[in-house]
Amino acid sequence: MNNDAILQSFRDAFPDLDLEITSLPVDEHVIALPADRVHAAVAILVEQFGIYHLSTITGQDRDENLELFYHFWQGHGLTLRTSLPYDAPVIPTVTDLIPGATFYEREVCEMLDVTFEGHANLEPLFLPDNWEGGAPLRKDFVVPPVEGGLDVDKEAAA
């Protein structure tokens, strides 16, 4: 996997963006992109460079916005970082390019309430069918009380 070639292709494809590549342990490189360019970037990776292995899609709540990571791997790790605002957590799906992303996007959707446009089936993957509590990985999530149960957050703070 040639990181410089990939960076160059991205720079050619998105001339208006100022793209940099940073490195993370362990053997990982990160390129930050705005949310609307992610699909095109993944298309370049898949079609031009033949990088098909998406390890996972990580989502996290960063207090000001939501952040998504698309972790790719082919010999070395390459991650695409993008952020989504709280009031519009919508991003186009990449399952048309990489069908393996189906479960990862479903998980991010149910855990962080992000909508992936064009995904065939965004039902909850791990949460129960009758889950009413909200997105568990959001900062403002409170564990719904269970009759006679343990308040997990209070226990942890204690």
Partner 1 sequence: MTKVTIPIGPQHPLLKEPLSFLVTVEGERVVDSKMRLGYVHRGIERLCQQRTYVQNVHLMERVCGICSHVHTTTYCQGVEALLGLEVPERGLYLRTLLCELERIHSHLLWLGVLAKNMGFDTIFMYAWRYREIALDIMESLSGGRVSHAVNIIGGVRIDMDAAQVEAVLGQLDELDTHITTLLGVIEHEKTFRVRTQNVGLLSPEQVRRYCVVGPVARASDVDVDLRRDAPYSIYDRLDFKVITHADGDVWARTVVRLLECVESTKLCRQILASLPDGPTSTRAPRKVPAGEVVSRSEAPRGEVIYYIRSNGKDKPARVKVRTPTLPSLLALYDQLRDVNVADISVVLSGVDLCIACADR
Which of 17, 28, 49, 65 touches partner 1 by CB under 8 A? 28
| Part of the chain binding partner 1 (CB under 8 A), chosen from 11-19, 34-42, 53-61, 86-94 | 53-61
At a CB cut-off of 8 Å and minimum separation 6, what does 22 contact? 29, 30
82 binds partner 1 (CB under 8 A): no
24 belongs to the binding site for partner 1 (CB under 8 A): yes
Does 60 help bind partner 1 (rule: CB under 8 A)? yes
DSSP 97: T
- Per-residue binding string, partner 1, 96-115, x by CB under 8 A, is --xxxxxxx------x----
Is residue 65 a contact point for partner 1 (CB under 8 A)? no
Q: What's the rounded Cα separation, in Å, for the pair 70 and 50?
A: 16
Q: Which residues contact 64 (CB under 8 A, 6 or more apart)?
A: none
Structure-token pair, residue 3 = 């990181």
Shortest Å distance, C-beta 41 to partner 1: 17
For the chain, what is the radius of gyration of the CA atoms?
Answer: 18
